[in-house]
A and B are shown apart, each in its own frame.
Chain A
Amino acid sequence: MRRSILFMPGNNPGMLLNADILGADGIILDLEDAVSPKEKDAARILVRNAIRYLGYKKSEVIVRINSLDTEFWTKDLDEIIPYKPDFIMVPKISTAADILVADEYITKLEEKLGFEKNTVKLMPLVETALGVENAYAIASATERVRAMLLGGEDLTADLRCKRTKEGNEIFYSRSRIVVACRAAGIDCYDTPFTDVNDAEGLIKDAEFAKSLGFTGKSSISPRHVADINAVFSPTQADIDYAIEVMAIIKEAKEKGLGVVALRGKMIDAPIVNRAVQVLEAAKAMGVKIDE
């Protein structure tokens, strides 16, 4: 399941210890913004040990490294790649060439370590106007890129506009990221909702992101995880409808019918595909489905 991904500060042992019991489908162990420059070395070693010794069986492990214009990112990868996190998140990716720099370095490390190519996947963090415009090129730059995250805070600074709860200022960017990622066949995560105390606002924001087509949403607070998971999970009504769709399609095939209708609506290929996706998501959540 890829509904929620939760940022965890990379130099905080107490938070790292509990990172995968907070319900998030993915945890982002952060070596970038959450860590002061003089503690980069300490966080790198701590995160490496956390992955190595704690295992993190309940969540996908994503490590946000420092950006490619710093002295830290190669050291981050040298320490982390041997322990096979699911994803490396690279911040401030604005072009396909940017993500290929990280891809090339990881490929060399994987060869040196005897890992299969693309063992560790990439999740570029797109948070500049140029990155948004180049979203499809970034998403399809290499097989290693399997997901993308939109970073709304840095993006609005780059757009020179105010970040609001309504999010009108990032509407185009959100849509563009979703279309680019879907066209490239990868997952896409929405920017975090940063007001930790506004549960109603969070749900509204997550529902809007889901309606645009995002796979899931990132979060900076463990308190947001349950609501994000709920929004991005199929409802019982969705599941019931999907089961009905699959049943009627099966029946039509048996009877040799070309066109069928359910509740007065024609059932065509996109509706069947959607039903398949809903049932796959439900199964991944552990819902038992009799087909």
Chain B
Amino acid sequence: MEIKKLATAGTLESSDAFITVEPNENGIELNLESVVINQFGEEIEALVYSVLDELDVKNVNISINDRGAVECVLRARIETAVMRGKE
């Protein structure tokens, strides 16, 4: 799936995450900020790559500002941003 334009999803409220995706030609570049980065940073990174793989996204600049979102919320917000970015 190709990201064709800048798109965002989510909010900065507690338990949510704010995601930005932009077109990129050099693979996946991730910029992660999280209120739980010390405890779960690696798990969140792994989850982001896994969701992008499931959505068949090979090239994207993705920024995530995580406010303590659980897995199903992060998955939903990444998917929403990708869907918005491909249109």
B73 adjacent to chain A (CB < 8 Å): yes
14 pairs of residues in contact across A and B, judged by CB atoms under 8 Å: A13-B15, A13-B16, A14-B13, A14-B15, A17-B15, A41-B80, A41-B84, A42-B10, A42-B77, A45-B83, A49-B72, A49-B73, A50-B72, A52-B72
Residues on A with beta carbons closer than 8 Å to the beta carbon of B77 = 42, 46
A17–B74 alpha-carbon span in the complex (Å):
13
- Rounded to whole angstroms, the CA-CA distance of A17 and B73 in the bound complex is 9
Question: Among B69, B79, B83, B84, which residue has its beta carbon within 8 angstroms of that of A13?
Answer: B69
Q: Which residues of chain B (68-87) have a CB below 8 Å from chain A?
A: 69-73, 75-77, 79-80, 83-84
**Alpha-carbon separation in the docked complex, A48 to B80 (Å):** 12
B60 within 8 A of A: no
Provide the residues of chain B in CB contact with A17, threshold 8 Å.
15, 70, 73
| Cα-based distance from A52 to B73 in the complex (angstroms) | 11
In the bound assembly, the distance between CA atoms of A14 and B75 in angstroms comes to 15
A287 within 8 Å of B (CB atoms): no
Residue from B75, B76, B84 with most neighbouring chain A CB atoms (10 Å): B76
Which 6 residue pairs are nearest across A and B when measured between Cβ atoms? A53-B72, A14-B15, A49-B72, A46-B76, A13-B73, A49-B76
Q: Which residue of B lies closest to A51 (CB)?
A: B72
B9 in contact (CB, < 8 A): yes
Assess the A42–B15 pair: CB atoms within 8 A. no
- Asked if B14 and A53 make an inter-chain contact with CB atoms under 8 angstroms apart, the answer reads no
Starting from the known contacts A45-B79, A54-B72, 18 additional A-B residue pairs (CB-CB under 8 Å) come to: A12-B13, A13-B15, A13-B16, A14-B14, A14-B15, A14-B16, A16-B73, A41-B84, A42-B77, A45-B76, A45-B80, A46-B76, A46-B77, A49-B72, A49-B75, A52-B72, A53-B72, A53-B75
**Interface 1/0 per residue, B4-34 and A, CB below 8 Å:** 0000011001111000000000000000000
Known: A13-B15, A14-B15, A14-B16. A42 touches B72 (CB 8 A): no
Produce 1/0 per residue, A45-74, CB < 8 A to B: 110111011100000000000000000000
A12–B10 CA distance with the chains assembled, in angstroms: 9
Q: Which residue of A lies closest to B71 (CB)?
A: A53
Q: Which of A49, A53, A54 has the most CB of B within 10 A?
A: A49
Kindly identify which residue among B71, B75, B80 contacts A42, using a CB–CB cutoff of 8 Å: B80
**B70 neighbours in A (Cβ, 8 Å):** 13, 17
Q: How far is it, in angstroms, between the C-alpha of A129 and the C-alpha of B4 when the chains are bound?
A: 47
